[in-house]
C-alpha cells in the first residue's frame, strides 16, 4: 500500500458536530462485505458479494478515515464482513496506526470473527491495536458450526488465545438467540471470567434478508437480564460509550456484562458514531436508510476540500434517532442492507 501522501500529520479541522449537538467522535468502517463464515442471523448461505470496483481501495479507506480523524474522530473501528479476510488489511491497520502515534486517535480497533487472529495477533499489536471484539456465540463446537455454517470453533479459540498472548484485550460479543444459545449465557460468563474477557450480549437486529425467519431467533435481552437477576445481583454501572451498550456489574463475580439492545431508543441521545460501508457510503444512523456517497466525492477529486464539505453536509443530516422494529412474522427486514454491509 502506498500512503506517502497521507503520511504527514493531518492539520486539525473543525470538529464534526451534528444538528443535535452530538460530536461525531467514533467511526466504524466496513473494509469488506466478504466473510469466511455464513452466520445464520447475518448472511444467507449463498451471498452475492460486491464487485471489486465498487469496494473502496485501502488507500481510499485510509483517505476517508484520515479525513474523519482530522475532523474529530477519536476512535476508529474496522469491521465488515470479516475485516481480517481483506487482502492487505495489515497494511491499512499499520498505516492508520500513525494517528495513534500523533495522539490524534485514542483507539484503533476491530470487530472480528477471530478465524484469522492466530496469525494476525502479533502484527495487529505492533500496529497499535490494544483491544479487539471477537464474536463468539457458543462454546460448543457443533453449535458453533451450526450457527456460523462455515466456521470452526477451535480455530477461533486459538485466535482469542493468540490475541491475549500478544497483549490485545479481547471483548467477546455473543448474539443471544432464542432456543439456540440462551442456555449458555452463564457458561460464557464463566469462560470470560476465567480468561479475562469482557462479555457483551447482543440482541438480534432485523438487518437484511436471511434464510430463516428472524422472529424464531429473537430473544429480548430484557428476558435474559431477568433470568440472570434471579441468580446474580446485577448493578447498573454508568459506563457509556455513546453506543447502544449498557453495562451491569455482577456483584458476585465483579464481572462487567454489556447488553446491546439496538431496538430500543435509549441510546440515541448520546450517539457519537457514524458508519462507512465498504463502498464508501456513510450511514449517519444504523437504523435508517439515509446515506451519503463519499466514494463519489473522493473518486471525483484528490482535493480534500470537497470531502470536508461532504462530511459537513452528511453530518447535518444525522437523524435524532431510529425506528427499528422486528416486525410481524414473515415481514420484510426493517432495514434492507445486511449487517455485513454496514458493519456491526
Using the rule CB under 6 A, give the single segment among 176-184, 198-206, 288-296, 324-332 that binds ligand SAM. Answer: 198-206
* Binding region for ligand SAM (CB under 6 A) out of 52-60, 105-113, 222-230, 281-289: 105-113
What would the grid cell of residue 246 be?
449498557
H or E segment to which residue 125 belongs: helix 117-126
Interaction between residue 287 and ligand SAM (CB under 6 A): no
Asked if 111 is part of the footprint of ligand SAM (rule: CB under 6 A), the reply reads: yes
Q: Minimum distance between the CB of residue 304 and ligand SF4, rounded to whole angstroms?
A: 30
Of 69 and 174, nearer to ligand SF4 (C-beta) is: 174
Q: Report the site for ligand SAM in 117-136 (rule: CB under 6 A).
A: 135
Give the nearer residue to ligand SAM in terms of CB position, either 260 or 298.
260
Instruction: Work out the angle between the directed axes of helices 185-195 and 221-231 (0-180°, nearest 10).
Output: 70
3-class DSSP state of 181: coil
Spatial CA neighbour of 95 closest among 131, 53, 73, 123: 123
Smallest separation, CB 70 to ligand SF4 (Å): 29
Rounded Cα distance between 66 and 105, Å, is 10
Task: Please state, as a whole number, how many other Cβ atoms lie within 10 Å of the Cβ of residue 287.
Answer: 21
Residue 41 found at the interface with ligand SAM (CB under 6 A): yes
**CB nearer to ligand SAM: pick between 73 and 135:** 135
Check binding of 204 to ligand SAM (CB under 6 A). Answer: yes
| 111: phi then psi, degrees, rounded to nearest 5 | -115, 125
- List of residues contacting ligand SF4 (CB under 6 A): 35, 37-39, 42-43, 80-82, 113, 135, 148, 340
**CA atoms of 272 and 262, how far apart (whole Å):** 14
Given a contact cutoff of 8 angstroms between Cβ atoms, the answer to whether 219 and 263 are in contact is no
Query: Which of these segments, 79-87, 178-186, 310-318, 324-332, binds ligand SAM (CB under 6 A)?
Result: 79-87
What is the size of the binding site for ligand SAM (CB under 6 A)?
19
Stretch that binds ligand SAM, among 108-116, 181-189, 288-296, 309-317 (CB under 6 A): 108-116
Please, which residue, 79 or 95, has the CB nearer to ligand SAM? Answer: 79
Query: What does R_g of the chain's alpha carbons equal in angstroms?
Result: 19
Could you say which of 67, 93, 205, 286 contacts ligand SAM (CB under 6 A)? 205
Residues 185, 188, 193, 197, CA torsion sign:
negative
Nearer to ligand SF4, 25 or 115 (CB): 115
Are 112 and 134 spatial neighbours (Cβ–Cβ below 8 Å)? yes
Residue 175 CB, nearest approach to ligand SAM (Å) = 4
Beta strand segments in the chain, E: 26-30, 75-79, 107-112, 131-135, 169-175, 198-202, 234-237, 245-250, 255-260, 273-276, 281-283, 291-293
Which residues of the shown chain bind ligand SAM in the complex (CB under 6 A)?
A: 35, 41-42, 79-80, 82, 111-113, 135, 173, 175, 202, 204-205, 207, 339-340, 344
Amino acid at each position: 500500500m502506498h500512503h506517502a501522501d497521507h503520511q504527514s500529520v493531518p492539520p486539525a479541522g473543525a470538529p464534526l458536530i451534528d444538528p443535535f449537538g452530538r460530536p461525531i467522535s467514533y467511526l466504524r468502517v466496513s473494509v469488506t462485505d466478504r466473510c469466511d463464515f455464513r452466520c445464520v442471523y447475518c448472511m444467507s448461505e449463498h451471498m452475492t458479494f460486491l464487485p471489486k470496483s465498487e469496494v473502496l481501495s485501502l488507500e481510499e479507506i485510509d483517505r476517508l478515515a484520515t479525513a474523519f480523524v482530522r475532523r474529530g474522530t477519536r476512535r476508529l473501528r474496522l469491521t465488515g464482513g470479516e475485516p481480517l479476510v481483506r487482502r492487505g488489511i495489515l497494511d491499512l491497520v499499520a498505516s492508520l496506526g500513525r494517528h495513534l502515534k500523533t495522539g490524534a486517535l485514542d483507539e484503533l480497533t476491530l470487530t472480528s470473527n477471530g478465524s484469522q487472529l492466530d496469525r494476525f495477533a502479533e502484527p495487529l499489536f505492533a500496529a497499535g491495536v490494544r483491544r479487539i471484539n471477537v464474536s463468539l456465540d457458543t462454546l460448543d463446537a457443533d453449535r458453533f458450526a451450526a450457527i456460523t455454517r462455515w466456521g470452526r470453533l477451535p480455530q477461533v479459540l486459538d485466535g482469542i488465545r493468540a490475541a491475549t498472548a500478544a497483549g490485545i484485550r479481547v471483548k467477546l460479543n455473543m448474539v443471544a438467540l432464542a432456543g439456540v444459545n440462551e442456555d449458555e449465557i452463564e457458561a460464557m460468563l464463566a469462560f470470560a471470567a476465567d480468561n479475562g474477557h469482557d462479555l457483551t450480549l447482543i440482541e438480534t437486529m432485523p438487518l437484511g434478508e436471511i434464510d430463516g425467519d428472524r422472529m424464531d431467533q429473537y430473544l429480548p435481552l430484557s428476558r435474559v437480564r431477568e433470568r440472570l437477576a434471579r441468580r446474580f445481583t446485577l448493578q447498573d454501572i454508568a459506563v457509556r460509550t455513546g453506543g447502544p451498550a449498557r453495562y451491569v456489574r455482577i456483584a458476585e463475580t465483579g464481572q462487567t456484562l454489556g447488553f446491546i439492545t439496538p431496538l430500543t431508543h435509549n441510546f440515541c441521545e448520546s450517539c457519537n458514531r457514524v458508519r462507512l460501508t465498504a463502498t464508501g457510503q456513510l450511514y449517519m444512523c444504523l437504523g435508517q436508510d439515509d446515506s451519503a456517497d463519499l466514494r463519489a466525492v473522493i473518486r471525483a477529486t484528490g482535493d480534500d476540500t470537497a470531502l470536508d464539505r461532504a462530511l459537513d453536509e452528511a453530518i447535518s443530516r444525522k437523524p435524532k434517532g431510529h425506528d427499528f422494529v422486528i416486525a410481524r412474522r414473515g415481514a420484510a427486514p426493517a432495514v434492507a442492507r445486511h449487517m455485513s454491509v454496514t458493519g456491526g
